[in-house]
Amino acid sequence: MTNHWIDIKNSDCILIMGSNAAENHPISFKYVTEAMQRGATLISVDPRFTRTSSKADIYAPLRSGTDIAFLGGMIKYILDNDLYFRQYVAWYTNAPFLVKDSYAFRDGLFSGYDPKTRKYDKSQWGFQLDDRGNPKMDRSLKDPRCVFQLLKKHFSRYTTRVVSQVTGTPESDLIEIYKTYAATGAKGKAGTIMYAMGWTQHTVGVQNIRAMSIIQLLLGNMGVAGGGVNALRGESNVQGSTDHCLLWHIWPGYLKTPRASNTDLAAYNKKWTPVSHDPMSANWWQNYPKYAVSLLKSFFGDKATAENEFGYQWLPKVDDGKTYSWMDIFDQMYRGTIKGFFAWGQNPACSGANAVKTRMALEKLDWLVNVNIFDNETGSFWRAPGVDPAKIKTEVFMLPAAVSVEKEGSITNSGRWMQWRYQGPAPMGDSRPDGDIIMELGARLKALYEKGGTFPEPIVNLKWDYLTAGKYDPHKVAREINGYFLRDVTVKGKTFKKGTLVPSFAFLQADGSTSSGNWLYCNSYTEKGNMAARRSPKDAVNKIGLYPEFAWCWPVNRRIIYNRASVDLKGQPWDQEQWVIKFVGEHKDGKWTTKKWIGDVPDGGWYPMENPDGSKRSDSRYPFIMRKYGHGQIYGPGRADGPFPEHYEPLECPVSKNLLSAQLTNPTAVTYDTDEDTYNTCDPKYPIVGTTYRVSEHWQTGVMSRNQPWLLELQPQVFVEMSEELASLKGIKNGQRVRVSSSRGALEATAVVTPRLRPLKIEGTTVHLVGLPWHFGWTMPKSGAEKSANLLTPSAGDPNTRIPETKAFMVNVSRL
């Protein structure tokens, strides 16, 4: 979230789309309800009328997988009716930037597409640069090559009539929603978006979010209270795991995993450190080498020296152009190239797309270690219904893990708040905290490698000193993540003693004198103590629910990021009542003379861009400090599938043509080509759109909730929701068990026949949609009859993130 949970209460209009917050993030409704009491409008857009929709002022259905068409229509509506926040757009976004002549968009394809590699040459999408290397701009937004004009042209095709034909949303609903949401473009008004996997899990997942980001920038909703782009994370600590980069392509703090072509540390730093020649651009990533070296020092301690590139060569490099994401791992496992696997706190046999393929992949392993609080479908895949254990070679180990309340440590919530938790009861039986399991695993590996082995340095040299009295010590790890001064140093006129904690990332160094396990968390555990453990109920001066002394939030306790966009050029808030920050420096003769911001921690404490007399200041910075050019990106030339979002059909779809272009599906979508990877569009065997989701009563693959009798009582069986019309067509009665199938797999489910789903008119024909929760699996309930909905879903993915498209695919439903 750019904002945070409590801040939802400050919104004037809440759009819940691509998420079902009432069911999957019920606590968020405390703040949604509070906003509504203050007069906010709640809009719910979902293929299904959900518990969220039940509370909404406006509900509209749409066909799963057509969100860009829906949002593209809103962009057009905002532009056509001049509802955008002009000053904000002209000064804080890249709308005025001029784009190179090589950028073009023709009938569904951007320029630079290579059909052989299915990739774009993104260099064709760059900006026109002046002789200093800065983008040329037209702040009047009139130049035909400026982003603003290109945006207008791009979305001119997205008329409400066409959008309605694509999405199935009635035109009158579209207009009502566009009008209501676009009203937040007025100065002092804020609209927010609450989204989750309903937007991300598509072959156009990233562009779904991009489309909404464009809307938020056009309406001036970024950086303000009650605004922002808010991803509701799927688990309590998913934000933490992302920040610490438990993903293949990034290192802690969103640093890049080195590519093979980054042959040494200098080349690595050069490749990933952006350079801006604009003195007004903070270009914060210019500090990249400081964060990278501090991380290496944290990994390898004294063994990391300037002479050995701080151990850079001990870290694995990924091959250029290759990907190693979740679906790639299981594809490789299926092909037999991966021999061993740790399933740690997860259940791939149920959670991953195309569970049939995943389970076959597990059979190819030599060994599998399942670390979990219960046995699950992954650990027991070898004795699943229909599997002959005698034919499985994989050796499976179960390591019982302690549950969250049995451990001390931190979690980071969606709002980027790092919150410390104390230990409740001691772990049961032989179960152990994950930290202890990892520490012992590392120690055993080190002992083995000390006796020899291929390339032992990375393991042998790893700093591994997080035990206290033989036990994993979360405080030692938290301090390591914050970082230390490793020798007496003087930075910015302040002297710090060796061994003291670094007060914030502004003091990290690239010369090996500091360590930090994650630069973004530098400031979380300082000489003042464990900031995440703070529990003061005191609000900040602006009284908008920032609670700056409750827990800690990255970066540097800034509760609303991009907050310098919440003020005008003179540093005064657009919204006088619910302001985030405010410049209160002294001025003389129309010029600011002292620097002082109040409210939230500002995105950099520079002077505002203008003096009180309207003259420009050269010692200021643009507000979007993490962007190379300092501006919010309406135009995003770094994405794999285009600088603007474009509607493409899901890889499996019910239509043979895309009404918006000649290009049916995302030309850069990720697909796989084993026998288990099938994709079916307009196949009469699978005529119904399928989608998956979660319910309040269960959690992820249900390992924690299916084993909890009170929760199983509430939702005992996998079900498939369908409209009354479809049920009558298929002769299905409410509550009956039916078969749901795709070309990949099938399962039994209980039919929930409901007016909450209705057939949609798509391009003049009737399209039916069904949905299933993916919480179930054969191990529990004991009947073994409740199976995973991921048996149906395809291994198709987004080209930027490689997230699977589990929210829109094709199925059939039949009576048993």
Residues that bind another protein (CB under 8 A): 22-23, 26-27, 29-30, 33, 37, 49, 51-55, 57, 59, 695-697, 709-717, 719, 733-736, 750-756
Which residue shows structure tokens 């230390």? 484
Residue 94 structure tokens: 């890249």
Q: Smallest distance from the beta carbon of 792 to another protein, in angstroms?
A: 18
Measured between alpha carbons, how far is 133 from 302 in angstroms, rounded to an integer?
Answer: 40
Measured between alpha carbons, how far is 414 from 421 in angstroms, rounded to an integer?
Answer: 16
User: Are the beta carbons of 144 and 62 closer than 8 angstroms?
Assistant: no
Q: Smallest distance from the beta carbon of 197 to another protein, in angstroms?
A: 19
Helix (H, G, I), strand (E, B) or coil at 80: helix
Q: Smallest distance from the beta carbon of 706 to another protein, in angstroms?
A: 12
Kindly tell me which of 678 and 754 has the beta carbon lying closer to another protein: 754
Q: Smallest distance from the beta carbon of 751 to another protein, in angstroms?
A: 7
DSSP 8-state code for residue 759:
-
Kindly tell me which of 535 and 733 has the beta carbon lying closer to another protein: 733
Kindly tell me which of 41 and 221 has the beta carbon lying closer to another protein: 41
Q: Where are the alpha helices (DSSP H) in 652-792?
A: 703-706, 709-714, 724-730
Kindly tell me which of 37 and 454 has the beta carbon lying closer to another protein: 37
Q: Smallest distance from the beta carbon of 524 to another protein, in angstroms?
A: 27
List Cβ neighbours of 433 (8 Å cut-off, separation of 6 or more): 401, 402, 406, 407, 427, 472
Kindly tell me which of 246 and 714 has the beta carbon lying closer to another protein: 714
Kindly tell me which of 51 and 446 has the beta carbon lying closer to another protein: 51
Tell me which residue of 529, 521, 522 sits closest to 503, measured CA to CA. Answer: 522
DSSP 8-state code for residue 137:
B
Kindly tell me which of 82 and 713 has the beta carbon lying closer to another protein: 713
Measured between alpha carbons, how far is 317 from 271 in angstroms, rounded to an integer?
Answer: 14
User: Are the beta carbons of 88 and 72 closer than 8 angstroms?
Assistant: no
Which H or E run includes 689? strand 688-693
Measured between alpha carbons, how far is 785 from 622 in angstroms, rounded to an integer?
Answer: 58
Q: Smallest distance from the beta carbon of 59 to another protein, in angstroms?
A: 8
Give the total residue count for the chain: 816
Q: Smallest distance from the beta carbon of 421 to another protein, in angstroms?
A: 19
Q: Smallest distance from the beta carbon of 815 to another protein, in angstroms?
A: 14
User: How many of the other CB atoms lie within 10 Å of CB of 51?
Assistant: 17
Residue 47 structure tokens: 């293929």
Kindly tell me which of 171 and 549 has the beta carbon lying closer to another protein: 171
Q: Smallest distance from the beta carbon of 740 to another protein, in angstroms?
A: 14
Q: Smallest distance from the beta carbon of 188 to another protein, in angstroms?
A: 23
Which residue shows structure tokens 């005064």? 572
Kindly tell me which of 431 and 754 has the beta carbon lying closer to another protein: 754
Kindly tell me which of 32 and 150 has the beta carbon lying closer to another protein: 32
Helix (H, G, I), strand (E, B) or coil at 693: strand
Kindly tell me which of 523 and 715 has the beta carbon lying closer to another protein: 715
Rg for the chain, CA atoms, rounded:
27
Kindly tell me which of 362 and 789 has the beta carbon lying closer to another protein: 789
Residue 258 structure tokens: 């080195």
Kindly tell me which of 53 and 64 has the beta carbon lying closer to another protein: 53
User: How many of the other CB atoms lie within 10 Å of CB of 491?
Assistant: 16
User: Are the beta carbons of 509 and 503 closer than 8 angstroms?
Assistant: no
Q: Smallest distance from the beta carbon of 33 to another protein, in angstroms?
A: 5
Kindly tell me which of 671 and 717 has the beta carbon lying closer to another protein: 717
**DSSP-assigned beta bridge partners for residue 41:** 13
What is the secondary structure of 143-178 as a DSSP string?
Answer: STTBHHHHHHHHGGG--HHHHHHHH---HHHHHHHH
**DSSP-assigned beta bridge partners for residue 471:** 468
User: Are the beta carbons of 190 and 226 closer than 8 angstroms?
Assistant: yes
Helix (H, G, I), strand (E, B) or coil at 409: strand
Q: Do you find a cis peptide bond into 781, omega within 30 degrees of 0?
A: yes
Q: Smallest distance from the beta carbon of 40 to another protein, in angstroms?
A: 12
Q: Smallest distance from the beta carbon of 9 to another protein, in angstroms?
A: 12
Kindly tell me which of 29 and 334 has the beta carbon lying closer to another protein: 29
Residue 769: what are its φ and ψ, rounded to 5°?
A: -135, 140
User: Are the beta carbons of 464 and 476 closer than 8 angstroms?
Assistant: no
Which H or E run includes 28? helix 28-37
Q: Smallest distance from the beta carbon of 559 to another protein, in angstroms?
A: 21
User: Are the beta carbons of 753 and 727 closer than 8 angstroms?
Assistant: yes
Q: Smallest distance from the beta carbon of 34 to another protein, in angstroms?
A: 9
Q: Smallest distance from the beta carbon of 173 to another protein, in angstroms?
A: 12
Helix (H, G, I), strand (E, B) or coil at 125: helix
List Cβ neighbours of 496 (8 Å cut-off, separation of 6 or more): 485, 488, 489, 490, 502, 507
Q: Smallest distance from the beta carbon of 64 to another protein, in angstroms?
A: 19
User: Are the beta carbons of 295 and 288 closer than 8 angstroms?
Assistant: no
Find the farthest-apart pair of alpha carbons in the chain and give their distance in angstroms, rounded. Answer: 87
Measured between alpha carbons, how far is 7 from 415 in angstroms, rounded to an integer?
Answer: 9
59 burial (CB, 10 Å; 0-12 / 13-18 / 19+) is: buried
Kindly tell me which of 400 and 716 has the beta carbon lying closer to another protein: 716
Kindly tell me which of 584 and 714 has the beta carbon lying closer to another protein: 714
Kindly tell me which of 198 and 667 has the beta carbon lying closer to another protein: 198
Tell me which residue of 774, 765, 763, 761 sits closest to 809, measured CA to CA. Answer: 774
Q: Smallest distance from the beta carbon of 686 to another protein, in angstroms?
A: 24
